Amino acid sequence: MTAQPAPQIQPDPRAEEHARQAARVAELNARFRHHGATSVLKVALRDKAFGEIAMVSSFGAESVALLHLVSTVDPGTPVLFIDTELLFPETLEYQQTVAERLELTDVRTIKADPARLAERDPYGALKFSDQDLCCTLRKTEPLDNALADFAGWITGRKRFQGGKRAQMEFFELDPDGRIKVNPLAHWRPGDVAEYMAQNNLPRHPLVAQGYPSIGCAPCTSKVAEGEDPRAGRWRGRDKTECGIHLVDGRMIREGDAR
């Protein structure tokens, strides 16, 4: 009996592209190991090999530092601002003030699909009963949809914020193959305040009222002296992230098996 030839395994183009991008991320991290935020931003925004890249900003307590850095490299960089419709009024006013002051020309306000909200949160009660699902509907899903048009994105995360951020590099690869750029990864706690002071940048008005980390109004409280700056986020709950920056960059609700 003639032996049948073994079936040939066809290469998976997606796996090959992911491997190529992973190698590129490793090369970039090695190349920029001893560089600073500006160098990282310049290569991300000017190297055409990256493709189109956006910045994601909450316009929160420390956001203006990275927004200013981006504006000095390319003020036309798309900036994605997620309006959950649960933000403090001060945040909405601050977003407009900063965008005008820095002359950012492409700030895009991202919101949840109204039909999706009507289906899953018709009474607006998820902010009390299921904060993870609320974050998914109002933050992670809208951002995931918006990022579909981009090859990469810039974040303001820093190692000193601890938790899953403690070992982050300048460049990461998310499961969808997008390169995530963290220019401030190696900044120390005092660097942001110093940079803001040196450049005379406007501060979020709620910082002076005791809010060093600012998210949605229902899930953000004041922080007492000596507390961790993020202690006021989801206070009293076993939750530390909104879902946008989960491990490996997977933008899904915590506990979701997908």
Q: Which residues are catalytic?
A: 242
Contact residues for 175 (Cβ-Cβ < 8 A; gap 6+): 248, 249, 250
User: How far is Cα of residue 156 from the mean position of the Cα atoms in its chain?
Assistant: 7
> Is residue 75 a contact partner of residue 53, using CB atoms and an 8 Å limit?
no
What is the Cα Rg of the chain in Å?
20
> Is residue 21 a contact partner of residue 50, using CB atoms and an 8 Å limit?
no
**CA-closest candidate to residue 131, choices 9, 16, 217:** 217
Q: In what order do the strands lie in the sheet with 152-154?
A: 107-110, 79-82, 53-57, 152-154, 179-181, 171-173
Q: Residue holding tokens 């890249």?
A: 53
Contact residues for 178 (Cβ-Cβ < 8 A; gap 6+): 147, 150, 151, 152, 153, 249
> Is residue 82 a contact partner of residue 50, using CB atoms and an 8 Å limit?
no
| C-alpha torsion sign, points 225, 98, 200, 65 | positive
Q: What's the residue count for the chain?
A: 258
CB atoms within 10 A of CB 155: 21
